Amino acid sequence: MRKHFYCLLAMFASCLVSPLSQVQAQTTPATWQEHWFEHVQLLQRVYLDNDLALYYDNDVSRSVTWPNQFLSDVWRYTKKTYGSFGTEPQLYAVMHTNKYSGGHPSTYFDASHDFRNVIDAGPGNWTGATEGDHNLLTHEVGHIVEIGSKNTHGSPAFGIWGDSKWAEIYIYDVYKGLGLTTYQNSVYTQFTAGRDNFPRANTAWFRDWFYPIYNQYGGTQVLNRYFVQVALYFARSGSEYNGGMNMGEFVHFWSGAAGVNLKSLATTAFGWTSEYETQFVQAQQKYPFTYSTPKPIVASLFQDINYGGYGVYLPEGNYNLTTLRAYGARNDDVTSLKVAAGYRVTFYMDDNFTGSSKVFTADAASMEAGWNDQVSSIRVEKLAAATVSVAPEEKDGLSVSSDKGLVVFPNPVSRGSSLTVRVTEYDAKAPLKVSLVDVNKTPVVYQTANAATVSVNTGNVAGGVYVLVVTNGSRYYTKKIVVQ
């Protein structure tokens, strides 16, 4: 994917005004006059929906319609995964025919492109809708994630991974997330075979670094956690990151995202010099976060009703406004949420857990009056387990446990079979949420239903002892379960 020589300038140039004085959400214009670099075309808007404003110059055939749905899906998935990207919901996509050689991005921080999230691409005629066409456009959206996510501008890692290495794992994940299996498999083969001459000759970035991290430490979530980790800890001034990372810092921040020391993986991928070792030790001292197993996501916040718009995913913890912004949220911008069984989410109207508060122990597809777009800080806490007594009984020769309103059978349960869970005092106004949690406190099965009884398939759960967590409105139960 070739790029303009000025692509990096577009990515990292200083704004003409402070990010704090950015314009608010704009109306998408029917025409847009280019005024960046050597671009001078008058663009026509050819498609508009809630996620995409698509512009063509006069040379692009109006028969090219495949970007409409594709780019809308890519941007919606990106916002759902990484959080907010300014106040405008749309990605502004500009397409030319046989101009400017490649493409470039710009973000809502940049005056150069009118404070919009923009991808601008020019090669080819687009009529073939080739895999390369799809890859190029997705590549440019990946740069917007890199330089504009988590309410902060810049890419500290760009000097390490260059133009395309982050983009490769981003493209792979987008195709996987959108169910584009053919493209997913094709780029996996292409990127796995790829070699680069940095940071040393014959480096297999995708094969030896990004894909192992993605595959072993959380998939989409580990990619998002990296940007959260950087937003929480890397040095910055206001909304701008201060310069770039060295290799030791790069490995340190990815280790924080993965929850494990990645020095060994980095040694395989890049080699490990004495300079890298010194940088790595210094990074651990300068940014003293640990490599602990990431806590499970138990609260998911969404910008729009019915879990639409951008998403923000929180483990158990306390989140003031600064921390929420590092996770990708904007102030006063939550309209719906999902809460895992056994947890409580408390919203506060003001920062630092002050002002009016509202407690949620169940999903809310839409905030009630007075709470829509009124959240500035949040606590996510585990509910205290209810005291239960066990009264064994028999049902069809199986051991059944009745825990003061909770009926569970069979227990032990065979791996790959089903566990029946019933709440005898079911609250029909709230969903029944069931989680099977392992010894690391990680949910391995999660299910929700609008019924008093639910059948939970243990699937590929390994044999062992688990805790069943059941929530129905204000009722909360826990039960030890043996899978054999």
Task: Place 29 in a pLDDT band, splitting at 50, 70 and 90.
Answer: very high
Give the least confident one: 243-252, 292-301, 342-351, 430-439: 430-439
Average of per-residue pLDDT values in the chain: 89
- State pTM to two decimals: 0.80
Nearest to 148, CA basis, from 325, 376, 331, 309:
325
pLDDT reported for residue 335: 97
**Residue 60 Cα to chain centre, angstroms:** 33
pLDDT reported for residue 440: 67
Give the least confident one: 163-167, 216-220, 378-382, 429-433: 429-433
pLDDT reported for residue 446: 79
Write the pLDDT tens digit of every residue in 430-474: 888 888 887 766 777 878 888 889 888 887 788 888 888 888 877
Task: Place 59 in a pLDDT band, splitting at 50, 70 and 90.
Answer: very high
pLDDT reported for residue 8: 47
CB atoms within 10 A of CB 438: 16
With a cut of 70, say whether residue 354 has pLDDT above it. yes
pLDDT reported for residue 415: 81
Q: How distant, in Å, are the alpha carbons of 35, 86, 106, 121, 472 from that of 7?
A: 15, 21, 9, 11, 52
Residue for token pair 């857990």: 353
Q: How distant, in Å, are the alpha carbons of 47, 52, 56, 136, 165 from that of 130?
A: 20, 20, 18, 10, 21
Task: Place 9 in a pLDDT band, splitting at 50, 70 and 90.
Answer: very low
Cα(321)–Cα(447) distance, integer angstroms? 31
Cα(323)–Cα(228) distance, integer angstroms? 9
Task: Place 246 in a pLDDT band, splitting at 50, 70 and 90.
Answer: very high
pLDDT reported for residue 16: 34
With a cut of 80, say whether residue 21 has pLDDT above it. no
Task: Place 26 in a pLDDT band, splitting at 50, 70 and 90.
Answer: low
Which residue did the predictor score with more confidence, 475 or 267?
Answer: 267
With a cut of 80, say whether residue 397 has pLDDT above it. no
pLDDT reported for residue 247: 98
Q: What φ, ψ does residue 102 adopt, rounded to 5°?
A: -145, -130
The amino acid at 166 = W
Q: Is residue 148 within 8 Å of 129, Cβ to Cβ? A: no
Across residues 179-204, what is the average pLDDT?
Answer: 98
Across residues 93-119, what is the average pLDDT?
Answer: 95
pLDDT reported for residue 459: 75
With a cut of 60, say whether residue 223 has pLDDT above it. yes
Q: What φ, ψ does residue 336 adopt, rounded to 5°?
A: -150, 160
Q: Is residue 78 within 8 Å of 141, Cβ to Cβ? A: yes
Pair of tokens at residue 294: 């990431």
